[in-house]
Amino acid sequence: MQLSLTARLNLFRESLSLAWDSVRANRTRSALTILGVVVGVAVVVIVAALLQGAQAFVVNSTAGFAPDVLRIEKASFQDFGADGQAFVEAQAKRPDLFVEDLEYLADRLGDEIEFGAQGAAVLPARRGAKTLVGVSIQGVTPNITDLSNIKIAYGRGLASTDDTYRRNVCIIGQDLVDELFPTTGAIGEDIQLGQIRYQVIGVAEARGSSFGSSQDGFVQIPLGTFTRVFGARSRSLAILAKAKDTEKLSLADVEERVRVAIRIRRKTVGTDKEDDFSFVTAKSVQAFSASLTGIVGTIVYPLTAISLFVGGIVVMNMMLSSVTERTREIGIRLAVGARRRDILIQFLIETTTLTVIGGVIGVMFAAGIIWLLAWATKLPLSLPIWAVMAAIGVSCAVGIVFGVVPARQAAALDPIEALRSE
């Protein structure tokens, strides 16, 4: 006999009510069952958030320049994938990039492409009795604000005359303002970098921290001053390039023209020699970080799935125990007219109810952990919506898959034998 839609809904409501009553009546067992699912779901969601946040962190931190800027380096790690040894060898063997290379590119392609450069060193910064160690010193061209994500908050930026006359002036990050000028203004004051004094002419906009590391502990000085202090050929520069008219010249066009120009300068154009330099763009960094997190994900996600599998085993064991304890109840239901299918549905609903509750609590628990990690590490973490949906879906699947065995066992009980049990 076919049941009407209303009858089916009433039957479902009754089964759901019985399942909920059973959950409430056996709170300790239900709590332990839910706990297994909570742990499994929370682990999956947290791992998904960490991988997503790590990718965002790499993109935000490494691609420290505008999205339409090409960065030319001696060697970039992303060119070598996971082969760290090849990267180290490239750093040792490839020719450095110097101011002469910057001038050559500007002379050859300067009509259509704007070029800049950046050198890097580390020195202590002093003012009075206060000393900061490990401060990042950046030697930059005056157009660095057009080619990077560092902007001036107040004061002025570096001028071409500062670079030409190699003046001892600097732009400082917010960390140096907080540490060296806590009560006074920084503009016009002096700080000592190594053994040389520099006048502060500008303060950069604060960029905050990423993964517990501040992005505001730096000093920028003119590139001409940088080469005077550290030597014109003491270290390789990073050269930045940007089309003056991005509608006429795409980033790919800029890359190709710069590649040809450098190969001409190094007399490798027309040969089968590989490039002995690297290109980095915001998109290439994003693609590289996505491939890395994808590789990590293919390894980590199956491992996290084990926790969900263990949670499913806990659910099945608990429900098998529940069938044994409620044998007489099942016998009575069968004796008064319940069909075996009704018993099967009841236990499946009960198992699914437990796992869905566990899934929801697991997502809430994961959200709290993610918030704490984001607060503590400053990593750009958020709760992935897809991971939440997947976690709820998986918890439902766990309830159905691992609830089938105890539900079938309950439905297969003989009513007479079940009534005789105590």
Instruction: Give the residue carrying structure tokens 């490039």.
Output: 275
List the one residue out of 44, 151, 67, 61 whose CA is nearest residue 380: 61
The pLDDT score that the predictor gives to residue 333 is 66
pTM equals 0.63
**What is the number of residues in the chain?**
422
Buried b (16+ CB within 10 A) or exposed e, 324-358: eebbebbbebbeeeeeeebbbbbbbbbbbbbbbbb
242 compared with 352, residue with greater pLDDT: 242
Task: For residue 195, give both structure tokens.
Answer: 């053994």
Task: Report, as an integer, the average pLDDT of 281-297.
Answer: 64
| Band of pLDDT at residue 278, cut at 50, 70 and 90 | confident
Buried b (16+ CB within 10 A) or exposed e, 303-319: ebeebbeebbebbbbbb
The pLDDT score that the predictor gives to residue 288 is 61
| Most confident option among 55-59, 111-115, 145-149, 334-338 | 111-115
Using DSSP bridges, classify how beta strands 218-222 and 130-140 pair: parallel, antiparallel or unpaired. parallel
List the one residue out of 309, 230, 251 whose CA is nearest residue 68: 251
DSSP 77: G
Contacts (Cβ under 8 Å, ≥6 apart) of 24: 30
Confidence check: pLDDT of 68 > 50 = yes
Type and span of the H or E element at 384: none
Please check whether residue 395 is in contact with residue 362, taking contact to mean a CB–CB distance below 8 angstroms.
yes
Task: Report, as an integer, the average pLDDT of 124-128.
Answer: 93
Task: Report, as an integer, the average pLDDT of 270-294.
Answer: 73
| Most confident option among 118-132, 282-296, 360-374 | 118-132
For 87-104, the pLDDT digits (tens) are 788 888 889 999 999 999
Please check whether residue 104 is in contact with residue 261, taking contact to mean a CB–CB distance below 8 angstroms.
yes
Q: Lowest-confidence range among 35-44, 325-334, 368-377?
A: 325-334
The pLDDT score that the predictor gives to residue 232 is 83
Identify residue 113 by its one-letter amino acid code: I
36 compared with 217, residue with greater pLDDT: 217
Contacts (Cβ under 8 Å, ≥6 apart) of 232: 98, 99
Type and span of the H or E element at 318: helix 282-325
Q: Which residues pair with 221 in a beta bridge?
A: 139
The pLDDT score that the predictor gives to residue 213 is 66
Task: Report, as an integer, the average pLDDT of 139-155.
Answer: 90
Identify residue 341 by its one-letter amino acid code: R
The pLDDT score that the predictor gives to residue 53 is 75
For 356-372, the pLDDT digits (tens) are 888 888 888 888 888 88
Please state, in angstroms and rounded to a whole number, the distance separating the CA atoms of residues 54 and 403: 37
Q: How many Cα atoms within 13 Å fall on the side-chain side of residue 218? A: 23
Q: Lowest-confidence range among 148-152, 194-198, 260-264, 373-377?
A: 373-377
The pLDDT score that the predictor gives to residue 252 is 87
Please state, in angstroms and rounded to a whole number, the distance separating the CA atoms of residues 84 and 218: 27
The pLDDT score that the predictor gives to residue 1 is 46
3-state SS of 111-177?
Answer: CCEEEEEEEEEEEEEEECCEEEEEEEEEEECCCHHHHCCCCEEEECCCCHHHHHCCCCEEEECHHHH
Q: Lowest-confidence range among 49-53, 355-359, 418-422?
A: 418-422
- Counts for the chain of helices (H) and strands (E), in that order: 14, 12
Q: Which residues pair with 120 in a beta bridge?
A: 138
Task: Report, as an integer, the average pLDDT of 200-215.
Answer: 78
Q: Lowest-confidence range among 43-52, 54-63, 311-320?
A: 54-63
Instruction: Give the residue carrying structure tokens 């709760």.
Output: 383
What percent of the chain clears pLDDT 90, i.e. is strictly above it? 30
Confidence check: pLDDT of 407 > 70 = no
For 160-183, the pLDDT digits (tens) are 999 999 999 999 999 999 999 988
List the one residue out of 18, 6, 13, 131 whose CA is nearest residue 410: 18
Please check whether residue 394 is in contact with residue 400, taking contact to mean a CB–CB distance below 8 angstroms.
no
Mean pLDDT of the chain: 79
Task: Report, as an integer, the average pLDDT of 47-67.
Answer: 67
Domain borders along the chain are: 8-60+301-420, 64-280
Type and span of the H or E element at 381: none
Confidence check: pLDDT of 115 > 90 = yes
